[in-house]
């Protein structure tokens, strides 16, 4: 019997760095041996520590510095936590502007880059020619089904378009993301750290509002055609890989759907009427899943699914169920050395449903309102502590506990299966009509004139998260963003034209002596969540999770239920590698691990959202250097 091959890929590139993988692979079966695959974050996250003591609005702009790519994701999560904690929600026009900006500066911008520049090269002609020769030969002979939309004749042409630096999709994704960022900056003022987001609203200068709407519409028009092209190309490529290259179940996470989702592109009318104090806003927040009486409806809605079973469609239930542990992470447990800041949520629900750990510790101590970040670096040990990422878990009323995932596939699965009144759902499928476009730049019209035609995106979301379903989910999520962009643009312009002289966007926030806030928002990588405890208008505690925090979670023993892996909870990243077979058509000594990398990159990981400061080695000196803007 051949000995397992130890594969170490560290760092994993094209995922914002600071992620490593170690796996033991059987060279005969080409699969991971006995769940022996570990992913780990190699850098410390410190933002939660130095947020304490600051005024709550500061968190919006500090947490956005978590990352130079998805800063607006954290800014939006923090803004919503501030809305609740400081008792202020925007006027409908303020919600519209938030939605319009986010459509562009994160979703369309981010998905364009991830699909075609960062994930795309793994599916490029260069890779398939050298490592998947039989699949490449089939690609050259396979006609593309959607050639009338994207303009590529064969699957091999699509692969060639993903070649780094030279491929058509690779090059023009860079052009498209510039347009998306420009559109968002019209509203945010800057990206990726939007200075205009404030509690209770947005600070966009609408003295030239008509021009803002017009310039936004011009870019949305081009990006609508671009989105059709991208979705059609990836649908063709994914279908080919499933039919010809045995890729349908590659990168599987949980055997049955296990995920959470949050709100995304909220109804301007419903969000604007949540209330004017943290208790009322929290109590009313689940009303957003209802259909709006006027204007756009909320697109994405809270959903908690465990092992294929819908547990709840309540934001409040998800919050009460959310815990975070550090048994396998480079932190110290705080539960026995700190006092709780709150044992209940704002409406009196006992956090963690009042359950206790086997050692008698109340689980509410592990809720994010009570968690304390205490870094404690030690030597990595896969049997003990091995990652700077903590361990998000969910606990239900029956005492069961589990790890879970989040992402575009999850939110599209959630609305198509459990929220039939979402505006992007029809007959249990994602159903999004993208409008006719009359004029686009030559670089787009010459490649794909069909992308200017009206096209309906239909996708029956599969009941499993795999490498390809996550990638297709990301592509189809672009259509959802385009839909929200047009929906909010039309409604927002109507609101603005009714009162151009003094358009109302923002309500003043309060300075409470005590309050709680939680912001949960659907962002490109999944669900971002921010928790804040306010005392005397200062942050007493702040915790937040990027989608990657939840997906890259290291394994631990905090798992109760038949879905556990030998008694352990294993995070989505590690499961996706464990359930991936190496398909490279070269000897094991030449394996690169492309299939493992595809599985991980399909999550669109962002590790700098979970780790922010590092000085390596001894004898290092940290200097703060101020450079004058001009010399006098």
Neighbours of 169 (CB within 10 A): 26
pLDDT at 459: 98
Alpha helices in 451-552 (DSSP H): 467-498, 547-551
Nearest CA to 604 among 21, 15, 177, 192? 15
pLDDT at 45: 66
Torsion of CA 315, 318, 323, 328, to 10 degrees: -110
Neighbours of 355 (CB within 10 A): 17
Q: Please provide the average confidence, as pLDDT, over all residues in the chain.
A: 94
Low-confidence ranges of the chain (pLDDT < 70): 1, 16-17, 45, 607-632
pLDDT at 622: 41
The span from the CA of 128 to the CA of 163, in Å, is: 11
pLDDT at 68: 75
Distances (CA, A) of 298 to 352, 409, 444: 28, 18, 31
DSSP per residue over 153-209, as a string? -BHHHHHHHTSTTTSHHHHHHHHHHHHHHHHHHHHHSSSSS-TTEETTEE----TTH
Cβ neighbourhood burial of 566 (10 Å; 0-12, 13-18, 19+): exposed
Torsion of CA 52, 57, 61, 66, to 10 degrees: 40
| Contact between 464 and 249 (Cβ < 8 Å) | yes
The span from the CA of 63 to the CA of 68, in Å, is: 11
The span from the CA of 253 to the CA of 249, in Å, is: 9
pLDDT at 612: 34
Cβ neighbourhood burial of 185 (10 Å; 0-12, 13-18, 19+): middle
Compute the radius of gyration of the chain from its Cα atoms: 24
pLDDT at 15: 74
pTM exceeds cut of 0.85: yes
CA 155 to chain centre: 28
């Amino acid at each position: 019997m051949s000995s397992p091959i130890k594969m170490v890929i560290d760092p994993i590139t094209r995922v914002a760095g600071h992620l490593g993988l170690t796996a033991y692979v059987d060279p005969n079966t080409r699969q991971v041996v006995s769940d022996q695959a570990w992913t780990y974050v190699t850098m410390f996250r410190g933002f939660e520590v130095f947020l304490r003591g600051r005024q709550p609005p500061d968190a919006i702009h500090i947490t956005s510095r978590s990352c130079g790519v998805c800063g607006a994701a954290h800014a939006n999560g923090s803004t919503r936590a501030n809305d609740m904690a400081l008792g202020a929600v925007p006027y409908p026009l303020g919600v519209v502007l938030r939605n319009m900006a986010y459509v562009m500066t994160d979703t369309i911008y981010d998905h364009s880059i991830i699909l075609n520049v960062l994930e795309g090269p793994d599916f490029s002609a260069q890779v398939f020619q050298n490592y998947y020769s039989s699949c490449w030969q089939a690609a050259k002979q396979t006609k593309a089904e959607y050639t009338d939309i994207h303009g590529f004749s064969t699957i091999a042409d699509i692969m060639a378009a993903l070649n780094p630096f030279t491929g058509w999709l690779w090059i023009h994704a860079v052009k498209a993301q510039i347009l998306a960022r420009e559109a968002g900056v019209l509203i945010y003022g800057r990206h990726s750290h939007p200075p205009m987001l404030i509690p209770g609203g947005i600070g966009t200068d609408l003295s030239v509002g008509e021009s803002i709407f017009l310039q936004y519409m011009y870019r949305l028009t081009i990006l609508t055609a671009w989105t059709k092209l991208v979705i059609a190309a990836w649908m063709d490529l994914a279908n080919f890989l499933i039919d010809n290259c045995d890729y349908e179940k590659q990168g599987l996470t949980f055997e049955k759907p296990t995920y959470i989702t949050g709100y995304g592109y909220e109804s301007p009318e419903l969000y604007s009427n949540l209330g004017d104090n943290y208790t009322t806003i929290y109590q009313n927040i689940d009303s957003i899943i209802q259909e709006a009486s006027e204007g756009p409806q909320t697109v994405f809605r809270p959903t908690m699914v465990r092992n294929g079973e819908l547990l709840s469609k309540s934001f409040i239930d998800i919050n009460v169920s959310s815990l975070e542990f550090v048994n396998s992470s480079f932190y110290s447990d705080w539960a026995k050395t700190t006092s709780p800041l709150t044992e209940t949520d704002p409406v009196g629900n006992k956090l963690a449903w009042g359950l206790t750990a086997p050692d008698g510790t109340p689980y509410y101590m592990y809720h994010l309102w009570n968690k304390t970040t205490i870094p404690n670096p030690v030597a990595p040990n896969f049997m003990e502590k091995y990652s700077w990422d903590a361990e998000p878990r969910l606990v239900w009323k029956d005492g069961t506990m589990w790890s879970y995932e989040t992402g575009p596939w999850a939110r599209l699965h959630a609305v198509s299966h459990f929220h039939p009144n979402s505006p992007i759902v029809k007959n249990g499928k994602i159903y999004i009509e993208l409008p006719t476009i009359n004029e686009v730049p030559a670089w787009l019209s010459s490649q794909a004139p069909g992308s200017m035609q009206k096209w309906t995106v239909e996708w029956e979301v599969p009941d499993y998260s795999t490498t390809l379903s996550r990638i297709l989910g990301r592509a189809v999520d672009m259509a959802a963003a385009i839909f929200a962009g047009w929906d909010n643009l039309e409604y927002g312009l109507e609101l603005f034209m009714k009162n151009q002289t003094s358009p109302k966007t923002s309500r003043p926030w309060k300075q409470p002596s005590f309050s709680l806030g939680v912001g949960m928002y659907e962002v490109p990588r999944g669900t971002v969540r921010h928790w804040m405890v306010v005392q005397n208008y200062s942050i007493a505690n702040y915790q937040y999770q990027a989608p990657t925090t939840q997906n890259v979670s290291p394994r631990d023993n905090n798992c109760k239920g038949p879905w556990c892996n030998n008694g352990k909870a294993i995070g989505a990243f590690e499961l996706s590698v464990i359930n991936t077979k190496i398909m490279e058509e070269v000897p094991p000594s030449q394996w690169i691990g492309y299939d493992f990398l595809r599985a991980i990159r399909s999550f669109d990981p962002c590790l700098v959202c979970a780790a922010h400061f590092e000085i390596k080695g001894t004898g290092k000196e940290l200097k703060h250097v101020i450079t004058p803007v001009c010399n006098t």
